[in-house]
Amino acid sequence: MAFARPLLRRPLSGQLLGRRGVCAGAMAPPRRFVLELPDCTLAHFALGADDPGDVDAPDPRLAALLGPPERSYSLCVPVTPDAGCGARVRAARLHQRLLHQLRRGPFQRCQLLRLLCYCPGAQAGAQQGFLLRDPLDGPDTRQALLELLGACQEAPRPHLGEFEADPRGQLWQRLWEVQDGRRLQVACAQVVPAPEPPLHPVVPDLPSSVVFPDREAARAVLEECTSFIPEARAVLDLVDQCPKQVQKGKFQVVAIEGLDATGKTTVTQSVADSLKAVLLKSPPSCIGQWRKIFDDEPTIIRRAFYSLGNYIVASEIAKESAKSPVIVDRSQLGGTLYRPLHPLGSEVCGTGLLDSSHSSQGLE
């Protein structure tokens, strides 16, 4: 991918230029990236290629975001495709912590974009991350990123990449680690355009992190959270009291969906009064007081909380519908329809995923 824009004010280090052949020969299978652009479209690129014929036509959008004169960094949280529930929870919490840190200090002047890293053909294991674009190419940004990397002592440790252009205008990514307080370049790879994959790379991960296939899958997530969220144990205890097989009674059940602050609660109360029906809410009142706690957690934890809440509501519906009609303020249906869309990006959902004001919990 050649760049028509001016090269960096300082040339790429001789160490990197000299290692170009070494890097290419020692590379693992190419990693693919999906970058969410400011206009809510997606750009695709890879590190290296198995064959020169695999390279797509240059994408000028990538040149503008990865090339000089500004400086771009990638920060990704690794998670293996066969990682257990605990590893996914730890990776999600690290990703959230990095997001908060990248909004402070010298990073405030930088542009922050969402980045996904994945292996083509893998059944799961997309890595969540960020692209940081420093308009000043300041040394304080690089130093702050290295300090952030060094502060992550427990696995998983994020992968820090730095993009640079060589004298010919070809873009490369250098991968850094911090060992014994010193930065160490552990890899370098040429950046090449990549085709859009036939399936969005987060789709294989949906059953393990967004829409859980059964109660046990959601329960396993909260089980991993009991050490740092005491309320998770209380939620699990309530879920364990619910029968695994429930059956609706003879009376009708009406679920009313709607976004927060649209009058849904008023309508459901009015309908319940008119029909002399029992009014149930989702999440149920027995766990509703902990909603704010879980809303502040990463997606995988938040979804597990609401998913288990649906099982509690289902148990309540089965009990109450045997005696009278039931009106449900929200149900699992709306959340189930919405949740798969949220991780796919703003092309689908219509808003940037790094926007903290975007609230989906009303549809859980």
Shared-domain flag, residues 164 and 221: no
pLDDT band for position 118 (50/70/90)?
confident
Residues 179 and 227 in one domain: no
Q: What is the mean pLDDT of residues 62-75?
A: 91
CB 290 within 8 A of CB 234: yes
Residue 263 placed within a domain: yes
Give the count of domains, the chain.
Answer: 2
Q: Are residues 229 and 331 in the same domain?
A: yes
Q: Is residue 272 part of a domain?
A: yes
Please tell me whether residues 105 and 244 are part of one structural domain.
no
- Using the predicted structure, report yes or no on whether residue 265 has a pLDDT greater than 80: yes
Residue 61 is assigned to a structural domain of this protein: yes
Q: Domain check: are 63 and 183 in the same one?
A: yes
- Has residue 267 got a pLDDT over 70? yes
Q: What is the pLDDT of residue 4?
A: 33
Does 359 reside within a domain? no
Where b means 16+ CB within 10 Å and e means fewer, 209-230 reads bbbbeebebbbbbbbbbeeebe
Identify whether 357 is part of a domain.
Answer: no
Number of neighbours of residue 41 by Cβ within 10 angstroms:
12
What tokens does 94 get? 């690290």
| pLDDT, average across residues 197-225 | 86
The dihedral built from the CA positions of residue 322, 327, 329 and 333, taken in this order, carries a sign that is positive
Could you say which DSSP state residue 106 is in? Answer: G
pLDDT 10s digits, 270-285: 999 999 999 998 889 9
Read off the CATH number of the domain in which 315 is found. 3.40.50.300
Q: Same domain, yes or no, for 145 and 282?
A: no
Domain final residue pick, 149, 171, 203: 203
Closest listed residue to residue 312, CA positions, set 240, 254, 361: 240
- pLDDT tier at 221, thresholds 50, 70, 90: very high
Domain boundary residue among 146, 172, 203? 203
* Residue numbers of the domain that contains 68: 14-203
- What's the rounded Cα separation, in Å, for the pair 256 and 16? 60
The verdict on 155 and 252 lying in the same domain is: no
- What is the percent of the chain with per-residue pLDDT over 90, rounded to a whole number? 46
Q: Taking the CA atoms of 99, 105, 106 and 109 in sequence, report the sign of the dihedral they define.
A: positive
Using left for φ > 0, alpha for ψ between -120 and 50, and beta otherwise, residue 355 falls in beta
Cβ proximity of 328 and 254 under 8 Å = yes
pTM of the prediction?
Answer: 0.79
> pLDDT band at 23, cuts 50/70/90?
very low
Of the two residues 206 and 328, the one the predictor is more confident about is 328
Which of the given ranges, 58-67, 194-203, 315-324, 336-345, has the highest pLDDT on average? 315-324
Tell which of 203, 226, 241 closes a domain: 203
Does residue 2 lie within any of the structural domains?
Answer: no
Residues 155 and 299 placed together within one structural domain of the fold? no
Residue 325 has pLDDT above 90, yes or no: yes
- Co-location of 258 and 154 in the same domain: no
The whole-number pLDDT of residue 54 equals 54
Residue 362 lies in a domain: no
Q: What pLDDT score was predicted for residue 248? A: 84
pLDDT higher for 357 or 170? 170
pLDDT range class, residue 296, cuts 50, 70, 90:
very high
pLDDT for position 79: 81
Residues 285 and 185 in one domain: no
Whether residue 351 is contained in a domain is answered as no
Same domain (yes/no): 189, 219: no
Strand ranges inside the chain, DSSP E: 31-36, 42-47, 71-76, 111-118, 127-134, 159-165, 171-179, 182-193, 253-256, 278-281, 326-329
Looking at the fold, whether 233 and 175 belong to one and the same domain comes out as no
pLDDT-based confidence at 62, cuts 50/70/90? confident
